[in-house]
Amino acid sequence: MDAVTPPQEPEAFWSDARASLAGLPDGRGLNMAHEAVDRHLSGPAADRVAFRFLPKKGEPLEMTYRELAAESNRFARLLERLQVGPGSTVFLLLGRVPHLYVAVLGALKARCVVCPLFSAFGPEPIRSRMAAGDARVLVTTPTFYRRKVAGLREALPGLDHVLLAGPPEETTDPGVHCLADLLAREDAHYRIPDTDPQDPALLHFTSGTTGVPKGALHVHEAVVAHHVTGRSALDLRPDDRFWCTADPGWVTGMSYGIVSPLTSGVTSIVDEREFDAEGWYRTLQDERVTVWYTAPTAIRMLMKAGRELPRRFDLSSLRFIASVGEPLNPEAVVWSQEVLGLPIHDNWWQTETGGIMIANIPGQEIRPGSMGRPLPGVEAAVGRRTNGEVEVIREPDEEGELLLRTGWPSLFRTYLGQEERYRGCFQGDWYLTGDLVRRDADGYFWFVGRADDVIKSAGHLIGPFEVESALLEHPAVAEAAVIGKPDPMVGEMVKAFVALHPGYTPDEDLRLQIVGHARKRLGSVAAPKELEILDDLPKTKSGKTLRRLLKARELGLPEGDVSTLESPS
């Protein structure tokens, strides 16, 4: 019989994992950007391509680790020149262009906090996040600035500097500079200051059921988890050509689109173009992608494009495929095996965990439809909340909330300005994920659903409250409620119900006006795809709108307990 190595205790595991990274010279701490870039300058990866950018227009552009180190040094120096000190927040509102990557790494070197925003956001999500994150600096394009940010300057008095990636347009707005001009004046050498592993590094906004978006704050030592999970869950090796299709505006695009592959010294492909089935197969082929990390909605869209299309491409470089962000239907795993010759490895994590926690890992049996098993260093359980306590369910196949034992380095450290909400996520040693799951007898976890009303559309988490607030800004709207309606392609689509103020006629014209208003305020990600005007919305006796009931009615499901309903309608 083979000797079996017992699984390592999480504490020892993370301590070894930390030791596998370099740390700043002379024991001056641990800095994410140093581990991602500068550490490679004395090794074989120094002149390897770190990013190969495929722009929307024009020729591909490559940046080696050495070049990335120099450019990010310039950005760090620029922040110092602008007197943007450690702990200040640098926001990014950009497509997948080189300046974004340079700014992320430069800001981390200068010990600023980096907060990426998805570029399809409209002005309202941008304003609320920049206000909550106390934005000092914004890196954006001239067009995004004019269309989405210029009108918000009064609401963002702390925003001192706007650095424009691209030819600047005429503006008299204060603090607006051309980024390329400023960088050209900076020296390419920079000494990263001492960095405490617990210093804040990354801020990612995520959505809850109620209230404003939550800014989950991560620290520099999260890089330890980014590094080891890139190896254990994505099988990254130094000679890989890796393509993470997630936008850096979301946590996957940051942790695994930037930090993790860099720490392993791999070459990442960054495709700025939007999804297009043929274009994606072409990228996989022409870029000789070996490891591909993508999302279920994209896979379903490829499946819809048919089995003939991929046959026209040579995909033989592909070695490993993984997916995250929403449930991956078992058929997709089977399709992938049949059509691409490889299965898809589903994995699970969320903004708060900062890195992959549960995965179908290389070399282990994949159970199609399952998210896999906890990674080394991660202890997961199924639990039930009762009277403020959490009870762990030991028997297999029981449904309950997914719990994770605290102690891994990429766990978030707070929700910015919402300490109580943050504390509410923990019970003793357990972090409560808000996801419902079951665990089978072999330790595989199966996703059941969310414990709250948050909507997952095309992998993006959307808070109903944020959408409802934007709808309520329209003068005709008296009440609004938003639900996730199941959709075969994007998982769930945003559906809104509104009731009108007296004096407004509920006709098609007004309906379209309200939809248009929401789209303009929120952008295409969160705006409702469907909107229905009702006479009034069902509420509890205490006046709380019952999204659950609207959803049940929409789906033709049993309405459940309606005893608390104000006036059953």
- Rule CB under 6 A: say whether 401 interacts with ligand AMP: no
| Distance between CA atoms of residues 339 and 305, nearest Å | 12
Question: What does the buried/exposed string (b/e) look like for 233-249 if buried means 16 or more CB atoms within 10 Å of the residue's CB?
Answer: bbbbbeebbbbbbbbbb
Measured from the CB of residue 435, what is the shortest distance to ligand AMP in angstroms?
Answer: 5
| H-type alpha helices, 115-221 | 123-132, 142-144, 179-184
Q: Which two tokens stand for residue 230?
A: 């890139």
Q: Which two tokens stand for residue 104?
A: 């992320």
- What φ, ψ does residue 346 adopt, rounded to 5°? -75, 145
Identified binder of ligand AMP from the candidate list 35, 326, 453, 468, rule CB under 6 A: 326
**Segment near ligand AMP (CB under 6 A), from 161-169, 342-350, 512-520, 538-546?**
342-350
Measured from the CB of residue 293, what is the shortest distance to ligand AMP in angstroms?
Answer: 12
Measured from the CB of residue 445, what is the shortest distance to ligand AMP in angstroms?
Answer: 9
Measured from the CB of residue 341, what is the shortest distance to ligand AMP in angstroms?
Answer: 22
Identified binder of ligand AMP from the candidate list 31, 73, 119, 206, rule CB under 6 A: 206
- Rule CB under 6 A: say whether 346 interacts with ligand AMP: yes
Measured from the CB of residue 366, what is the shortest distance to ligand AMP in angstroms?
Answer: 13
**Segment near ligand AMP (CB under 6 A), from 134-142, 347-355, 403-411, 518-526?**
347-355
Identified binder of ligand AMP from the candidate list 233, 251, 357, 549, rule CB under 6 A: 251
| Distance between CA atoms of residues 296 and 300, nearest Å | 6
**Segment near ligand AMP (CB under 6 A), from 228-236, 275-283, 325-333, 497-505?**
325-333
Helix (H, G, I), strand (E, B) or coil at 138: strand
Q: How many residues bind ligand AMP (CB under 6 A)?
A: 18
- Select from 367, 318, 309 the least CA-distant residue to 341: 318
| Distance between CA atoms of residues 495 and 486, nearest Å | 10
- Rule CB under 6 A: say whether 350 interacts with ligand AMP: yes
**Segment near ligand AMP (CB under 6 A), from 44-52, 91-99, 284-292, 346-354?**
346-354
- Rule CB under 6 A: say whether 492 interacts with ligand AMP: no
Q: Which is nearer to ligand AMP, 71 or 346 (CB)?
A: 346
Measured from the CB of residue 447, what is the shortest distance to ligand AMP in angstroms?
Answer: 4
Q: Which is nearer to ligand AMP, 142 or 213 (CB)?
A: 213
Q: Work out the angle between the directed axes of helices 277-286 and 296-304 (0-180°, nearest 10).
A: 110
Measured from the CB of residue 261, what is the shortest distance to ligand AMP in angstroms?
Answer: 18
Within 446-485, the residues that bind ligand AMP by CB under 6 A are 447, 450, 456, 461
Sign of CA dihedral 297, 303, 306, 309: positive
- Rule CB under 6 A: say whether 325 interacts with ligand AMP: yes
Identified binder of ligand AMP from the candidate list 10, 168, 327, 376, rule CB under 6 A: 327
Within 41-60, the residues that bind ligand AMP by CB under 6 A are none
Measured from the CB of residue 450, what is the shortest distance to ligand AMP in angstroms?
Answer: 5
- Rule CB under 6 A: say whether 89 interacts with ligand AMP: no
| Distance between CA atoms of residues 72 and 177, nearest Å | 18
Within 354-393, the residues that bind ligand AMP by CB under 6 A are 371
Give me the long-range contacts of 143-152 (CB less than 8 A, separation at least 24). 144/93, 144/94, 144/119, 145/169, 145/171, 145/176, 146/171, 148/93, 148/121, 148/122, 148/123, 149/93, 149/123, 151/123, 152/123, 152/126, 152/127
Q: Mention every residue, 6+ apart, whose C-beta is less than 8 A from residue 4.
A: none
Measured from the CB of residue 347, what is the shortest distance to ligand AMP in angstroms?
Answer: 6
β-bridge mates for residue 202, sequence order: 114, 218
Say how far residue 490 (Cα) sits from the centre of its chain: 16
Q: Which is nearer to ligand AMP, 82 or 201 (CB)?
A: 201
| Distance between CA atoms of residues 140 and 554, nearest Å | 40
| Distance between CA atoms of residues 442 and 108, nearest Å | 41
Measured from the CB of residue 359, what is the shortest distance to ligand AMP in angstroms?
Answer: 9
Q: Which is nearer to ligand AMP, 78 or 494 (CB)?
A: 494
Identified binder of ligand AMP from the candidate list 324, 471, 526, 533, rule CB under 6 A: 324
Q: Which two tokens stand for residue 409?
A: 């380095």
The two most distant CA atoms of the chain are separated, in Å, by: 80
**Segment near ligand AMP (CB under 6 A), from 102-110, 226-234, 323-331, 385-393?**
323-331
Contacting residues toward ligand AMP, per CB under 6 A: 206, 251, 324-327, 346-348, 350-351, 371, 433, 435, 447, 450, 456, 461
